[in-house]
Structure 1
């Protein structure tokens, strides 16, 4: 490996690597250079590996296989680590931190070590790859950047609870071409306690996985957060219909999609009947997805549409003077029955353990983690119910016979965010600016700042 300060070619790489790039040995050498102490050369190598597509990721995995396996094992083992251990997975160790940061740069996803997923950030390139490989596309739309810690809350749950799951990442890696795009920056809020302590987190927003065929035509949307098993099933179904209809056009294509979505509505009806019976409730048709009468929906109206992320955000929304609409009681009763069946992978539990805030009292923190995981499973059960039975049901209806679904991705994204997530692009404040609420601050404390 070249010494720090060695002459670099115009592309930012040592000439020997420039000469060998494109052959397998060149990618492996790039993978080794990607974790070098020379930051300029490391960043350039990471960029070239990304440009090589999934094969660049595979080369990185081959070059650093034992170290990556050790990191995955350490994160997974952290699920059982004692709470007086400050860094149970060794994520603060410089060599490991550098390795994982390089991997994230190649994947374009934070915490990629647990999923091994390569994400395109250019849709046209994703479509070209899908056509070449004959695969459907999963296009994630989120708030913020999937590579950053402070992307929207739902995307953080995807990284922690879904993508590390063996069934989820095997499905995504083997059957789909992956792409993500930012709907808008993730809104952040900082609480300054005045004594040097601050709390910074994101607030409001929602995410969805849009499933496209190999031509880039939408066939379904998996909205919000689902439990891993349900997420895998929903994506597998959508992937199958994307492949089955890829060669169809015109009325044949529309009819095939309508048949699929009609069947999904019937399946949701049957599942809802079983769930309400198990909960001792009278079977009633699921109501249509909630709508807002306001020109710009309130953040408190949108919050219950993403229940798991609403739990940590509710107090912060309240602090802004924004009331949060309640979750339907009948959903809570059913979630009490379905939550115990939710299985989170050992890798996810280990990652959650490394991220969770601790008070410093080991016994208290151990008990708090048990409570946090129980609460997480319950809100995940609620999210799964609401996203499938309410939002996904509405999306299925867009494709059924006699209805018209948007035929291009951008139009579909707009409809999902405007009508179902209640966060329309026309509202730059994401429902957090209500002229009918007075808080004693000039402009309600809201400012427009230039970001260069």
Structure 2
């Protein structure tokens, strides 16, 4: 198509008004009839999604997204060669020379435009590595699940999965989990995907006073909620796991969701109780084996102290997500929030399990493209190697604690004699209130401590009208 200027804008306006993708010629503005004939199909929208006119391109991207996974497939078909080249470039970036500033060519304007369009259609940042379609309307996700006979995987996070500065755990999901081939295949083929934001992701900016800044998020956690095809919750996979363990947890939850989808009443409660009680027993055996391998005494795993009626502090919540704590702990300290230590027994077991954690080439390539560089090639290479070793260790700690501590408590909610929330929103609220220690009732997310004095009016906390 060689259409420019006002014509693109007219087409963008027409598309944004919500006309059907297969509108007939009589529905189109006359100026468009001779150009697109009797219909504007997904293939044409996929081409239009990369138009030089931003308004037209964005309108086409949104129409593709509204078409669901088929819209994503249409975009993939139209731009498969360019997407494959971009993906291969990220894989190659894992071994690229350390002095290359843009090893995957992601700053190239044409490639950046391609990936921005893909992210819009997917509903997820960094979608190149996963090609996953995420619903943001839960009702639509459940309708799709019923139609396809699949469970729903509903991700709850702080912030927006389409933004770079969504919460740290969701960024790790995009970088370390979703690009993994086994994770990607399982999510794409076996689940209907949905995400929703629990609240905005708190951001912190350190201004060094000379034009340099460090900008990141702070505190918060994420979880994947597994629902049967009718939208009823059956399990929660809390926080970050290593890819292989994440696949195993989701496979168990998928099997449970499929087995219980046709049950109701006492039959459903008994089936859920049987599964979750069996998982607690399996976790007991697993922890004993891990403890023996690490040379630890065989005794129940350590549990995090819960704040009870008091408002939880951000420093108490931080160790519940080890990988993001590695980034956030110094920043929490700067705000006057001391960070609780991780139990030594967890650390010793993680030291044994960390070397076996496998990260995909896609993940390693993305890490390489995002790595901060000093400009000293040898130093940057050493820093990158150290970062990957540390990342594997924090992944091992996260996996261990999330499964043995947090997931264990969730299993207990469904056990006989316990009361598990029957609806998704109640379950989400309980996870965030009781397990992640970030209750909705605290607008400051544990970052405003009236017992800590820092020489600043109001402790440096301010409220501004948000339009």
Shorter-chain TM-score range: over 0.9
User: Which position in structure 2 is the counterpart of 1:108?
Assistant: 123
| CA distances 1:58-97 after superposition (whole Å, capped 9, x unpaired) | 0000000010010000001100000111111000000000
User: Which position in structure 1 is the counterpart of 2:254?
Assistant: 239
Residues 274-423 of structure 1: pairs in structure 2 closer than 5 A: 274-293=289-308, 295-423=310-438
Given the alignment, which residue of 51, 57, 66 partners 1:42? 57
User: Which position in structure 2 is the counterpart of 1:11?
Assistant: 15
Work out whether residues 211 and 238 of structure 1, in 8 Å CA contact, stay in contact via their aligned partners in 2.
yes
Give the distance between the partners of 1:127 and 1:316, measured in 2 at CA. 39
Give the distance between the partners of 1:353 and 1:427, measured in 2 at CA. 37
Given the alignment, which residue of 158, 167, 175 partners 2:190? 175
User: Which position in structure 1 is the counterpart of 2:29?
Assistant: none
User: Which position in structure 2 is the counterpart of 1:228?
Assistant: 243
User: Which position in structure 1 is the counterpart of 2:271?
Assistant: 256
Q: TM-score of the superposition, structure 2-length normalised?
A: 0.94
Instruction: Identify the range of structure 1 (6-15 vs 213-222) with the bigger mean alpha-carbon deviation.
Output: 6-15
Residues 58-73 of structure 1: pairs in structure 2 closer than 5 A: 58-73=73-88
Q: Once the 2 structures are TM-superposed, how far is the Cα of residue 286 of structure 1 from its aligned partner?
A: 2.2
| CA distances 1:254-307 after superposition (whole Å, capped 9, x unpaired) | 100111101111110010000000011110012445311352100000000000
Q: Does 1:90 align with 2:105?
A: yes
Q: TM-score of the superposition, structure 1-length normalised?
A: 0.97
Given the alignment, which residue of 450, 457, 461 partners 1:435? 450
SS for the counterpart of 2:204 is strand
Gaps of 5+ in 2: 25-35
Q: Once the 2 structures are TM-superposed, how far is the Cα of residue 154 of structure 1 from its aligned partner?
A: 0.2
| CA distances 1:318-357 after superposition (whole Å, capped 9, x unpaired) | 0000000000101111111000000000000000000010
Q: Does 1:187 align with 2:191?
A: no
Give the distance between the partners of 1:196 and 1:185, measured in 2 at CA. 26
| CA distances 1:388-429 after superposition (whole Å, capped 9, x unpaired) | 000000000000111110010100001000000000000000
Q: Once the 2 structures are TM-superposed, how far is the Cα of residue 13 of structure 1 from its aligned partner?
A: 8.6
Work out whether residues 13 and 41 of structure 1, in 8 Å CA contact, stay in contact via their aligned partners in 2.
no
Q: Once the 2 structures are TM-superposed, how far is the Cα of residue 14 of structure 1 from its aligned partner?
A: 12
Give the distance between the partners of 1:78 and 1:211, measured in 2 at CA. 34
Given the alignment, which residue of 212, 219, 223 partners 1:204? 219
Say if 1:17 and 1:389 are closer, same or farther in 2 by CA, change over 3 A.
closer
Q: Once the 2 structures are TM-superposed, how far is the Cα of residue 12 of structure 1 from its aligned partner?
A: 4.0
SS for the counterpart of 1:19 is coil
Give the distance between the partners of 1:215 and 1:411, measured in 2 at CA. 16
SS for the counterpart of 2:94 is helix
Q: Once the 2 structures are TM-superposed, how far is the Cα of residue 375 of structure 1 from its aligned partner?
A: 0.3
Work out whether residues 2 and 14 of structure 1, in 8 Å CA contact, stay in contact via their aligned partners in 2.
no
Work out whether residues 15 and 63 of structure 2, in 8 Å CA contact, stay in contact via their aligned partners in 1.
no
SS for the counterpart of 1:179 is strand
Give the distance between the partners of 2:384 and 2:149, measured in 1 at CA. 44
Give the distance between the partners of 1:161 and 1:399, measured in 2 at CA. 30
SS for the counterpart of 1:182 is strand
Q: Does 1:121 align with 2:136?
A: yes
Give the distance between the partners of 1:326 and 1:11, measured in 2 at CA. 54
Superposition CA RMSD, Å: 1.7
Aligned length: 451
Give the distance between the partners of 1:168 and 1:418, measured in 2 at CA. 28
SS for the counterpart of 1:379 is helix
Gaps of 5+ in 1: none
Work out whether residues 12 and 40 of structure 1, in 8 Å CA contact, stay in contact via their aligned partners in 2.
no
